[in-house]
């Protein structure tokens, strides 16, 4: 085994690093349990509160998109509002989402054929039915990372870099992504692979991801504002990250939160004053991730009680027996 592999094995999250954090209760009996690692960092980047072992490596998946957008902007990408939000989105392929992706590509003199993300059906059920009814099928535009890919392409064009190999780890844009991640997390990238969309994916610790979320709000106010003002663009109308951005008011300021989901149970949250929260759910499910995040914020007085309760009602899945509520989700 190489020295590098030994380092990765030593840092990777293991079963004992996760702590039971959320229970699903039915008829007074715990039916399911979710284990998590979570970190809360302050505006100075230091760890304030945690669940489990926060210095373990995870793949943050799409929770890294706001940081990838920082690299795009450093390369020369000039987007604002909803178009900037689509570059950090894991969108659900509605006509409105796809129109934004097309607009980013067209402004760069490109079209769908330049995208190198996979083909997909829209994730939004109504949009998927609409596509099927029209006799159409999968497209690269409908893939939930197509906004990020359009942003990558537009940034490469702005910088005068090649677009045919924009996903190669050696491409100047992807090297800039590594530079941004190391700067914002305060950590060296020791493991890289390929994400589900085909783009390079880099491992960070849970604590480093939280630090990056807080720093992003402080140092990239345009990205934070675009996400908050266009929460539906970042996911869909009722995805957990959109719910958090649309409905939360942090006690530290009226601007509220930014939030971004990542596959396999990852959630990144940043507060208006630069606190960061990162969550990784051991089983890879997303239903508990936002609950853990708001729980950490509330117990550290970073989320008002009324906002916390309102968000919990929206975010916690209903435990039903027929049409009756027969149980609940609760923090451990």
pLDDT tens for residues 87-117?
999 999 999 999 999 999 999 999 999 999 9
Beta-bridged to residue 58, according to DSSP, are 204
pLDDT (0 to 100) of residue 250: 46
Q: Which two tokens stand for residue 5?
A: 């592999």
Taking alpha carbons only, the member of 182, 210, 187 closest to residue 279 is: 210
pLDDT (0 to 100) of residue 249: 47
The full set of domain ranges for the chain reads 37-321
8 Å CB contact between 257 and 244: yes
Is the pLDDT reported for residue 247 higher than 80? Answer: no
pLDDT confidence of 1, banded at 50, 70, 90? low
Place of tokens 């020295």: 3
pLDDT (0 to 100) of residue 4: 75
CA end-to-end distance (rounded Å), the chain: 39
Distance of CA 156 to the CA centre of its chain: 22
pLDDT digits (tens, 9 = 90+) for 276-295: 999 999 999 999 999 999 99
Q: Region 29-39: what's the mean pLDDT?
A: 98
- Specify the CATH number of the domain 37-321: 3.40.710
pLDDT digits (tens, 9 = 90+) for 40-76: 999 999 999 999 999 999 999 999 999 999 999 999 9
Give the range among 74-88, 148-162, 240-254 with minimum mean pLDDT: 240-254
**What is the DSSP code (8-state) at residue 139?**
B
pLDDT confidence of 255, banded at 50, 70, 90? low
Is the pLDDT reported for residue 254 higher than 60? Answer: no
pLDDT confidence of 5, banded at 50, 70, 90? confident
Percentage of the chain lying above the pLDDT 70 cut: 97
């Amino acid at each position: 085994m190489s020295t590098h592999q030994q380092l990765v094995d030593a840092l990777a999250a293991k079963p004992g690093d996760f702590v039971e954090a959320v229970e699903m209760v039915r008829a007074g009996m715990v039916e399911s349990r979710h284990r998590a690692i979570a970190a809360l960092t302050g505006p100075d980047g230091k760890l304030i509160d945690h669940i489990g072992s926060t210095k373990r490596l995870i793949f943050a998946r799409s929770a890294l998109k706001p940081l990838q957008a920082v690299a795009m902007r450093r390369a020369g990408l000039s987007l604002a509002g909803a178009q900037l939000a689509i570059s950090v989105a894991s969108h659900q392929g509605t006509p409105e989402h796809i129109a934004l992706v097309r607009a980013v590509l067209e402004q760069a003199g490109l079209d769908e054929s330049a995208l190198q993300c996979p083909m997909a059906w829209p994730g939004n059920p109504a949009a998927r039915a609409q596509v099927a009814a029209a006799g159409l099928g999968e497209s690269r535009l409908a893939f939930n990372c197509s906004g990020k890919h359009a942003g990558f392409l537009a940034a490469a064009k702005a910088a005068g870099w090649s677009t045919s190999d924009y996903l190669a780890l050696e491409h100047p844009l992807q090297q800039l992504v590594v530079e941004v991640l190391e700067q914002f997390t305060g950590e060296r990238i020791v493991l890289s692979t390929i994400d589900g969309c085909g783009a390079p994916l880099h491992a960070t610790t849970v604590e480093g991801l939280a630090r990056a979320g807080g720093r992003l709000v402080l140092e990239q106010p345009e990205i934070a504002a675009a996400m908050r003002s266009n929460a539906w663009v970042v996911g869909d109308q009722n995805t957990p990250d959109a719910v958090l951005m649309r409905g939360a008011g942090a006690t530290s300021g009226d601007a509220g939160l930014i939030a971004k989901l990542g596959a396999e149970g990852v959630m990144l949250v940043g507060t208006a004053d630069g606190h960061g929260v990162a969550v990784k759910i051991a089983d890879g499910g997303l239903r508990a991730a936002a609950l853990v995040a708001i729980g950490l914020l509330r117990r550290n007085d970073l989320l008002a009680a009324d906002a916390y309760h309102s968000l919990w009602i929206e975010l916690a899945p209903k435990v039903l027996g027929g049409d009756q509520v027969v149980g609940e989700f609760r923090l451990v």
